[in-house]
Structure 1
Amino acid sequence: MTEGARPPAGPSPELTLWYARPARDWESETLPIGNGALGATIYGTVATERVQFNEKTLWTGGPGSPGYDFGNWPEPRPGALAEVRATLDARGRATPEEVAGRLGHPKTGYGAYQTFGELTVEFPQESDTPVEVDDYRRELSLAEAVARVSYRAGGVGYLREYFASHPAGVIVGRFSADRPGRVSFTLRHTGPHPGTEVVAADGRLTVRGALADNGLVHEAQVQVLTEGGTRSATGNAVTVTGADAAWFVLSAGTDYADRHPKYRGADPHPKVTAAVDAAARQGHRALLAAHQADHRALFDRVRLDLGQRMPAGVPTDALLAGYGGGGPADRALEALTFAYGRYLLIASSRPGSLPANLQGVWNASTTPPWAGDYHVNINLQMNYWPAHSTNLAETTEPLHAFIHALRAPGRVSARRIFDARGWVVGNETNPFGFTGVHDWPTAFWFPEAGAWLARHLWEHYRYTRDADFLATSAYPVLREVAEFWLDNLHPDPRDGLLVVSPSYSPEHGDFTAGAAMSQQIVREAVGTALAAAEILDTDPELRAELAAVLERLDPGLRIGSWGQLQEWKADLDDQESRHRHVSHLYALHPGAQIVPGGPEALAAAVSLTARGDGGTGWSKAWKINFWARLRDGDRAHTMLAQQLRDSTLPNLWDNHPPFQLDGNFGATAGIAEMLVQSQHDVVELLPALPGVWPAGSVSGLRAAGDLTVDLDWAAGRATRATLTAGRDGPVLVRGGLVAAGCRVTDRDGGVAVRAVSADTVEIPAAAGRAYTLTAR
């Protein structure tokens, strides 16, 4: 094969990943498409195409799997928690092994996310001598959400196109040639699950079985349609001969349902059949048009210009390999990275399915790393950091539904393990309500996870100001989380303050009482539950109790002996530690308890500097956000550059290693944080602009308070900003544009604003109006 490289084609070369050869490795080179529930990865191999696919509810484990117990203790352990708390009261510390021995429980029947298998499409050779292939190109257009493979062989140009349609609930592939009658292939399914039956009839493959582990019924159907030529189905294959073009539609499902305690619903056959039949009737052109309209309605909301220039003829893997942190080509990779995170979130989290897991929706294994599950000591949460700020609020619906589905099993775990009200979930969970514990000493205990998840519901309210959502969705969760902690906080005998005990700073050090991250999360949870109850004017007795607890609650913000923000209540921090978790800075990001410029912010910078710029992919992504919150755009950009150089695979997936998508989402969120922030209910313009982005623009970012922000800058300063209000009410705006003196106008002319400080003004906004700030 000759690997010809040609300039990017299509409407948006700056938003296209492309390669001059087929993928050889699934993890680092295949290109992903997805519609939330279904995902596929494209290899683009010439003689035999491989399309690996997933359906997000195909999981082993859970009910039906031997020994599954939701992570709950099988027998009561009277006094177990009290014993650990007494140990911590007396000694101050306990080893993870010691605490796991008392409170842990072996994980049984937990399960893992599964691949559905692969479609293989075999293209016949016309002779025993392989035909030389020229002008090969494999691409993924982020703006269109279409993957393509094109090449020339034997004087014929061939094109393959793939997309995953959310409106139709199917994956679509089409094969065509620039000469009639030249499309021939045999399509099969291969999969790893014993007992799966594959039957071909009337141009359709039906793939059906039940997982041996838990009996979960799964089915996929693939309908092949032709434009000219002939089609035959025999055994387990569909063959097309001499067509001008041919295409397939694929849908898949299981009998999973997110209902505790059985987690089973209807047989997938009727729904899968209906989806494939309806898509086949629509035709390829209509399917593609509806898919692109649906995708663009989300993706096109935000546009970012960093002064980038995509170099002609340079494939994406070469662009990544040549990244140096400066210049228009490097800006092109950074802007592409930002767009890719938004693309991946749209593709892996849409209403009607589970939220994005550690690998989004893409997994080629039956034993993926960390089970391909939902780690909730940061990873699931990080997946959704860019959802609101980059104008993709609709993608949070699966997360919200998942949180609500955890409440029923979480109440059981709260009673059995903690003898408490409310609900709880531990360090990690699955789609089957695993809300208890396991026994890996450094990763089994994190009851604060429920509170961290609940903050995403509060954030949705902050960004949308949807009072109905607050009342019906967010507040019930916040209230129960707060009740859980009201029943679990423990008075520290040393100072009488209420602390989380036992407490563990994720994957680092010993167990203590009142670790910084634990206190920061619980303080936020209690505070937001109180704020929500006050907004809704409900539960006066609970409000009084929450307010009283806040007065006694240890804040988890202490400055230590070397100027650091302490990770633990006692000054135990090791200045030489380079641990990838910097969990004690939760109050800086994603929380908002630390104010830039204050003593805790300066201490956070000391901690960050000491930890260094290393770590896994998601750790570097978190550090982008930390430095952005500290208003240090150059350090934030340094972390972005580190992530691209050292923790990004050729297909731009984040590399832990192995690959997991939280780093992609965290990086996209971090870039947005460098440009606009609103965590303190003030819209801050260019709070952390790095020097390497001296001029640019962004449109469509979102700020808290139902605001959309467009922004232009030059010579490192904002020159113009437009805020579009979704609600009536005052809007605070801060930044250098204000400090330098600016004029505020709307469609009727000048707007009278109130100066709050030298760099902050208050705009009296009205719903539906756009307010433009321009430099004088």
Structure 2
Amino acid sequence: MRPATSVHGHASAAPGPDDLTLWYDRPATDWETQALPIGNGPLGAKVFGGVASERIQFNEKTLWTGGPGSPGYDFGNWRRPRPGAVEEVRERIDRDGRMAPEAVAARLGLPKSGFGAYQTFGDLHLDLHLDQAGAPQAPSGYRRELSLREAVARVGYSADGVAHSREYFASNPGNVIVGRISADRPGTVSFTLRHSSPRDDKTVTAADGRLTIRGALSDNGMRFEAQVQVIAHGGTRTDDGDRVTVRGADSAVLVLSAGTDYADAHPAYRGEDPHAEVTAAVDAASARSYDDLKAVHLADYRRLFDRVRLDLGQGVPAVPTDRLRRDYTGGSAADDRALEALFFAYGRYLLIASSRENDLLPANLQGVWNDSTSPPWSADYHVNINLQMNYWPAHQTNLAETAVPYDRYISALVAPGARTAREMFGARGWVVNNETNPFGFTGVHDWATAFWFPEAAAWATRHLYDSYRFTGDERYLRDTAYPVIKGAAEFWLDFLHTDPRDGKLVVSPSYSPEHGDFSAGASMSQQIVREVLAHALAAAERLDVDQDFQAETRAALERLDPGLRVGSWGQLQEWKSDWDSRTDTHRHASHLYALHPGDQIAAGSPHAEAATVSLTARGDGRTGWSKAWKMNFWARLLDGDRAHRMLAEQLKGSTLDNLWDTHPPFQIDGNFGATSGIAEMLLQSRHDAIHVLPALPGAWRTGSVSGLRARGDVTVDATWKDGAPDTVTVRPGRSGPLRLRSSLIAGRHRILDDRGLQVGARRDGDTLTWDAAAGRAYTIHRETAAAVNATAAPGVPAEA
């Protein structure tokens, strides 16, 4: 028994409410819908805020069953050769035009073996108020909150005449989760810390105020460890077997870190025992003051989060967030704007919290949060849209660092994917199908409508090429992106099939994700393959490498079916044959890939008109992530009101009280897709032009946004009044021609640089082009006729 002296804190008033805080007037009782998430990338936790007992469920992203060490793990590859299997399916499709998914799965599928699932690390419990004689009085003034500006969760209330407060954050520097328990009366902090888990595969011990949870997963032998240091200021601290008790303290701090022996290296996927690294993390953090740990966390987090600000004219809601969501109508009320702005910021918060530079794995279907041993869809990496959607807002909303683990993960799939390409498909390059795990699962399973999607590898590389387009970093293109993109393209150069009907190169067998029959040349398949070939060719040309590969790719592109057809009722066809139904409301709208995230359909074109017909027929319903994708589609079609309607539908029907997106159940991709959709309404950078406020909805009458990123290494700010752009500021990171499009340009305006000098620009309708200099800021102002006439000549300081 000894008082602790290392880290301490005291009760302090929480910051005042603001427009970017989720808050509630009662504790959470449900993990999925109510508890609040914190995370630093590798670590995540959910805070419940109980009064008699606090629950903190936590995760470490690499804790997975399955993979090497799990019985029968085969990477999804056929266990025995199946000579002629793919050719047989192709021949039937050539003959009959289509083939039922069940029939294809019976020939090409394989039951999952050792795929595994993401695992909870368990729960920490703080049994509170041990010095009270019986249960505490009912609390008053209860508030539970999550500040998005700080990435700090708080709990506060009064009981028995004492104001109690708790504060939690997950710090990326040091890789720790930190909590502080305090009160406004000395000597009134008492609790017992214990751990629970749904698995019986670990030991829990307490020594010197440190709880150590250590074990190995019975499924695959993966070693794991978590340590929680309890540091009391005042009072006493005692260890009792598998728990730590603090009595009569003024305050106490918890420091948690966790890890496993996972390594992202094929084929073993195992590294060092986590004990040393976890111990070092907890030791280092425990030696620092709470205020210091928090200051370091805030500086790190705000460096990312504060880059972008969105003002929709919202106020500070006077009601808890669950009520704010329930009262939301999508109309003109200030509280509606507050929820929309909060939802946008929440997506950025969740991406920072679940994907950071030091992560071995990207955000999964649930980000980094999971309370189960068998979560929905294993909380895995679905690559027929979901993983890709997670990273749509990364560059758009100025969070490029969050994409580092995505790049690392996709690159790590190349080695196992090359084996799958060679053994199952007889092709060069690499491939991955519908879903994968942390252990290089690149083959197939046998769920008929979701087992076959070899286009996934090509789609996965889109983000790598887009990273280059946003940054212009040629070293990144050469060293990271191009080898992966080239490999995905080489697979298709070998695996494309000549359609006997017209001699075009098509994907066969081809399946429009989770919908309809197998066929040859489904629209999404063709659009994705066309894109990866074009990206690979453009990258090779830019780097001036691989001349033979360039020639081979050009030849394939000339013969490739483009996957863009207008059907009998004016729709964009989902399949090469005109099978679309006007009454089809399926959640996937995969044939619109060329509109978003792709760039093959421009607004106002005949194919855009056909996409509008298809999208209208699909309707506004279905699942959360589907609504988010539709938001992006409508934004790309420059219809801000329809995009806003999809945002409203998602908030009203597919969003939980803690603002997590629900499929149902919870899937985080809908949060990220919605943040991307809002960004697309405000800024687009396609076809070598930056389009500012391209799809501003009528509901957002006045507002501003700053810090969004455009392709070409440009940062963009904008303000608008009465539904019309007022100012646009661009900050190029590289010198060269800059093309900017805005309805502001069609009217009276002037453009000044950050020295107050007027800039000469070439105007073409609503587009301006000028030679921009890196590091300068250029602002376009809406002007009255009188102000325009008084503007200084180019190169002369402008007078007010």
TM-score scaled by structure 2? 0.95
- What is the rounded CA distance, in whole Å, between the counterparts of 1:756 and 1:421 in structure 2? 48
Residue 113 of structure 1, aligned match among 115, 118, 127: 118
- Written as runs of structure 1 = structure 2, the 5 A alignment for 1:201-600 is 201-312=207-318, 314-326=319-331, 327-353=333-359, 354-600=361-607
User: Tell me, what secondary structure is at the counterpart of 1:569?
Assistant: coil
Please state if 1:181 is matched with 2:187: yes
Distance 1:587 1:210, change over 3 A: same
Partner of 1:624: 631
Distance 1:187 1:769, change over 3 A: same
- What is the rounded CA distance, in whole Å, between the counterparts of 2:16 and 2:425 in structure 1? 57
Distance 1:580 1:534, change over 3 A: same
- What is the rounded CA distance, in whole Å, between the counterparts of 1:585 and 1:238 in structure 2? 56
Partner of 2:103: 98
User: Tell me, what secondary structure is at the counterpart of 1:279?
Assistant: helix
Contact residue 342 and residue 386 of structure 1 kept, 8 A: yes
- What is the rounded CA distance, in whole Å, between the counterparts of 1:9 and 1:731 in structure 2? 45
TM-score scaled by structure 1? 0.98
Please state if 1:637 is matched with 2:644: yes
Please state if 1:709 is matched with 2:716: yes
User: Tell me, what secondary structure is at the counterpart of 1:26?
Assistant: coil
Partner of 1:3: none
- What is the rounded CA distance, in whole Å, between the counterparts of 1:752 and 1:133 in structure 2? 62
Residue 727 of structure 1, aligned match among 731, 734, 737: 734
Partner of 2:7: none
By how many angstroms is 1:744 displaced?
A: 1.1
User: Tell me, what secondary structure is at the counterpart of 1:700?
Assistant: strand
Please state if 1:656 is matched with 2:663: yes
Corresponding letter in the other structure for 2:274 = P
By how many angstroms is 1:751 displaced?
A: 4.1
- What is the rounded CA distance, in whole Å, between the counterparts of 2:143 and 2:64 in structure 1? 34
User: Tell me, what secondary structure is at the counterpart of 2:33?
Assistant: helix
Partner of 1:770: 777
Partner of 2:80: 75
Contact residue 12 and residue 143 of structure 1 kept, 8 A: no
By how many angstroms is 1:679 displaced?
A: 2.2
Structure 1: stretches of 5+ with no match in the other structure: 1-7
- What is the rounded CA distance, in whole Å, between the counterparts of 1:97 and 1:473 in structure 2? 38
Distance 1:72 1:568, change over 3 A: same
Residue 122 of structure 1, aligned match among 114, 118, 127: 127
Partner of 2:796: none
Residue 67 of structure 2, aligned match among 62, 66, 78: 62
Please state if 1:43 is matched with 2:48: yes
Contact residue 65 and residue 220 of structure 2 kept, 8 A: yes
Corresponding letter in the other structure for 2:336 = D
- What is the rounded CA distance, in whole Å, between the counterparts of 1:741 and 1:586 in structure 2? 37
- What is the rounded CA distance, in whole Å, between the counterparts of 2:304 and 2:140 in structure 1? 36
By how many angstroms is 1:129 displaced?
A: 4.9
- What is the rounded CA distance, in whole Å, between the counterparts of 1:482 and 1:239 in structure 2? 59
Partner of 2:798: none
- What is the rounded CA distance, in whole Å, between the counterparts of 1:33 and 1:679 in structure 2? 34
- What is the rounded CA distance, in whole Å, between the counterparts of 2:413 and 2:539 in structure 1? 21
- What is the rounded CA distance, in whole Å, between the counterparts of 2:135 and 2:578 in structure 1? 72
- What is the rounded CA distance, in whole Å, between the counterparts of 1:142 and 1:108 in structure 2? 40
- What is the rounded CA distance, in whole Å, between the counterparts of 2:622 and 2:770 in structure 1? 42
By how many angstroms is 1:9 displaced?
A: 6.0
- Taking every aligned residue pair, what percent have the same amino acid on both sides? 67
- What is the rounded CA distance, in whole Å, between the counterparts of 1:47 and 1:311 in structure 2? 29
User: Tell me, what secondary structure is at the counterpart of 2:661?
Assistant: coil
- What is the rounded CA distance, in whole Å, between the counterparts of 2:764 and 2:501 in structure 1? 42
Partner of 2:150: 144
Contact residue 260 and residue 408 of structure 1 kept, 8 A: yes
- What is the rounded CA distance, in whole Å, between the counterparts of 2:316 and 2:755 in structure 1? 40
- What is the rounded CA distance, in whole Å, between the counterparts of 1:469 and 1:751 in structure 2? 35
User: Tell me, what secondary structure is at the counterpart of 1:574?
Assistant: coil
Corresponding letter in the other structure for 2:780 = L
By how many angstroms is 1:11 displaced?
A: 5.3
- What is the rounded CA distance, in whole Å, between the counterparts of 2:771 and 2:748 in structure 1? 18
By how many angstroms is 1:127 displaced?
A: 2.1
Please state if 1:89 is matched with 2:94: yes
CA root-mean-square deviation: 1.0
Q: Once the two structures are superposed, what CA deviation does each residue of 1:647-696 show, in whole Å capped at 9, x if it has no partner?
A: 00000000100001000000000000001100222110111000000110
Corresponding letter in the other structure for 1:91 = D
User: Tell me, what secondary structure is at the counterpart of 1:476?
Assistant: helix
By how many angstroms is 1:12 displaced?
A: 5.7
By how many angstroms is 1:282 displaced?
A: 1.3
Contact residue 557 and residue 565 of structure 1 kept, 8 A: yes
Partner of 2:788: none
Corresponding letter in the other structure for 2:33 = S
- What is the rounded CA distance, in whole Å, between the counterparts of 2:569 and 2:218 in structure 1? 56
Contact residue 653 and residue 661 of structure 1 kept, 8 A: yes
By how many angstroms is 1:716 displaced?
A: 1.0
Q: Once the two structures are superposed, what CA deviation does each residue of 1:93-134 show, in whole Å capped at 9, x if it has no partner?
A: 000011101110111000000000000000135123541210
- What is the rounded CA distance, in whole Å, between the counterparts of 1:604 and 1:589 in structure 2? 11
- What is the rounded CA distance, in whole Å, between the counterparts of 2:334 and 2:304 in structure 1? 27
User: Tell me, what secondary structure is at the counterpart of 1:207?
Assistant: strand
By how many angstroms is 1:757 displaced?
A: 1.7
- What is the rounded CA distance, in whole Å, between the counterparts of 2:310 and 2:403 in structure 1? 22
Corresponding letter in the other structure for 1:307 = G
Contact residue 207 and residue 221 of structure 1 kept, 8 A: yes
Corresponding letter in the other structure for 2:145 = E
Partner of 1:16: 21
User: Tell me, what secondary structure is at the counterpart of 1:636?
Assistant: helix
Partner of 1:29: 34
Partner of 1:5: none
- What is the rounded CA distance, in whole Å, between the counterparts of 2:761 and 2:162 in structure 1? 68
- What is the rounded CA distance, in whole Å, between the counterparts of 1:130 and 1:39 in structure 2? 30
By how many angstroms is 1:283 displaced?
A: 1.9
Contact residue 753 and residue 759 of structure 2 kept, 8 A: no
Contact residue 753 and residue 761 of structure 1 kept, 8 A: no
- What is the rounded CA distance, in whole Å, between the counterparts of 1:679 and 1:258 in structure 2? 34
Partner of 1:4: none
By how many angstroms is 1:756 displaced?
A: 4.8
Partner of 2:162: 156
By how many angstroms is 1:193 displaced?
A: 2.1
Distance 1:9 1:315, change over 3 A: farther
Distance 1:417 1:563, change over 3 A: same
Contact residue 393 and residue 672 of structure 2 kept, 8 A: yes
- What is the rounded CA distance, in whole Å, between the counterparts of 1:454 and 1:767 in structure 2? 28
Partner of 1:690: 697
Distance 1:129 1:240, change over 3 A: closer
